[in-house]
Amino acid sequence: MVATATAIQQFTGLSDAECTARIKAAKAALGDRLIILGHHYQREEVFVHADVSGDSLKLSRAAADSKADYIIFCGVHFMAEVADILSRPEQVAMLPDLSAGCSMADMANLTKVERAWQEIARVLDPDEHVTPVTYINSAADLKAFCGRHGGIVCTSTNAQQILEWSFARREKILFFPDQHLGRNTAAKMGISLDEMVVWDFDQPFGGLTKEQIRNAKMILWKGFCSVHQMFKPEHIDRFRAMYPEVKVISHPEASYEVCQMSDYVGSTEYIINTVADSAPGTRWLVGTELNLVTRLHEQHKHEDKSVHFMSPTVCMCSTMFRVDPQHLLWQLENLVDGNVVNQISVPASDADEARDALQRMLAIR
């Protein structure tokens, strides 16, 4: 007989050390029936329990390829949704804390995107001229929107290939929710800033004239990541003045100015690999989330590499941080008892169309 689910309150006071020991025991009891996916921004006490760690693209593929009955996603809500959409129907995707969202993903919603689409339709036929591209950091119904309008999903790793795919089909892109990833990627492809406009989702027609919409190649949603917008050109200037030899590497969610000043720009996985492959003694200034930068420093300090965080103020992804060992243990021990808590289940109506958009992406890269 299945026991009643144990409440989270019984776990919140436990020490991290006790959680670690019990998480290991629960994982051993669940064996191959479980896989834990961990995003690079997870705090160390959680990250150590991941069976697979990676950026959004790598973890999406891991979810799609997994044979486990239960997929626990130590990350944020949209990531667990992707795991649910790409896994088989009988597999269960789970998120340790349901309040672990993404503030950038929340900057776009279906009502506003559909309104934008209708407003663009008063200037030109979007289904003929505009490919909707959503960053994977978005809700499942926005991926479904892209699925039904011939659009696609991208991650920070494959954004350029996805934009190339999109421009091969239609001459314009509506890119949401992150303006910075859209701008940085398009600029790298040689599209000038004059050919990009920002769609202010709180204004009629995005705050743009019909002519601006007609002339734009990239229509960039006015969303941003509150963590990555903290990195500023002056942080790089100040650091370079002290250490002229420093190598600067940033995530493409950082601003155009920061990315232009950086020596390297890429996803979390790219940042990790680039730092790992660098020569001993290299000094790095990194513009991405603090937990990852701290881990990189710890991993490479014995090679005499020093890895510094770009901002002078502490800026972590506070929603990623909501996943703690206590919630993970709560979920695992309930699973051992046969109870699923915090399942993420995308309604079939959204999941089917969202899968189309995700599979178009996975077929490219």
Is the Cβ of residue 172 or residue 251 nearer to ligand 13P in the bound state?
Answer: 251
Residue with tokens 């309008």: 149
User: Does 156 sit near ligand 13P (CB under 6 A)?
Assistant: yes
Q: Residue from 20, 42, 53, 56 that binds ligand 13P (CB under 6 A)?
A: 56
Residue 267 interacting partner from ligand 13P, ligand SF4, none (CB closer than 5 to 8 Å by kind): ligand 13P
Q: Which two tokens stand for residue 358?
A: 């995700």
Q: Residue from 59, 136, 225, 351 that binds ligand SF4 (CB under 6 A)?
A: 225
Which of helix, strand or coil describes residue 284? strand
Q: Residue from 53, 166, 255, 267 that binds ligand 13P (CB under 6 A)?
A: 267
d(CA 296, CA 277): 12
Is the Cβ of residue 84 or residue 253 nearer to ligand SF4 in the bound state?
Answer: 253
Q: Where does the chain show beta strands of DSSP type E?
A: 34-39, 52-54, 70-74, 92-94, 130-135, 152-154, 172-176, 196-199, 218-221, 247-250, 264-265, 283-287, 306-309
SS3 content of the chain, % helix, strand, coil (to 5): 50, 15, 35
Amino acid at 304: D
- Residues 133-192 within binding reach of ligand SF4 (CB under 6 A): 137
d(CA 24, CA 27): 5
Pairing of strands 283-287, 306-309: parallel
User: Does 255 sit near ligand SF4 (CB under 6 A)?
Assistant: no
Residues in a beta bridge with 72: 36, 94
Phi, psi of 81 (to 5 degrees): -60, -45
Q: Which two tokens stand for residue 105?
A: 């993903």
Is the Cβ of residue 250 or residue 326 nearer to ligand 13P in the bound state?
Answer: 250
Residue 103 interacting partner from ligand 13P, ligand SF4, none (CB closer than 5 to 8 Å by kind): ligand SF4
Residue 56 interacting partner from ligand SF4, ligand 13P, none (CB closer than 5 to 8 Å by kind): ligand 13P
Instruction: Kindly tell me the number of DSSP H helices and DSSP E strands found in the chain.
Output: 16, 13
Q: Within 13 A of 195's CA, how many CA atoms are on the CB side?
A: 13
Residue 255 interacting partner from ligand 13P, ligand SF4, none (CB closer than 5 to 8 Å by kind): none
Q: Which two tokens stand for residue 323?
A: 């996943």
The CB-of-92 to ligand 13P minimum distance in angstroms stands at 23
User: Does 59 sit near ligand SF4 (CB under 6 A)?
Assistant: no
Is the Cβ of residue 282 or residue 342 nearer to ligand SF4 in the bound state?
Answer: 342
The CB-of-81 to ligand SF4 minimum distance in angstroms stands at 13
User: Does 319 sit near ligand SF4 (CB under 6 A)?
Assistant: yes
User: Does 100 sit near ligand SF4 (CB under 6 A)?
Assistant: no
Q: Residue from 285, 317, 323, 346 that binds ligand SF4 (CB under 6 A)?
A: 317
Q: Which stretch in 99-107, 155-163, 207-215, 258-266 sits in contact with ligand SF4 by CB under 6 A?
A: 99-107
d(CA 97, CA 75): 9
The CB-of-317 to ligand 13P minimum distance in angstroms stands at 7
Residue with tokens 């499942």: 140
Q: Which stretch in 7-15, 97-105, 146-154, 329-337 sits in contact with ligand SF4 by CB under 6 A?
A: 97-105
Contact between 337 and 61 (Cβ < 8 Å): no
Contact between 153 and 134 (Cβ < 8 Å): yes
User: Does 353 sit near ligand SF4 (CB under 6 A)?
Assistant: no
Q: Residue from 27, 38, 43, 55 that binds ligand 13P (CB under 6 A)?
A: 55
User: Does 319 sit near ligand 13P (CB under 6 A)?
Assistant: no
Is the Cβ of residue 26 or residue 225 nearer to ligand 13P in the bound state?
Answer: 225
Report the length, in residues, of the chain: 365
Residues in contact with ligand 13P by the rule CB under 6 A: 40, 55-56, 137, 155-156, 225, 251, 253, 267-268
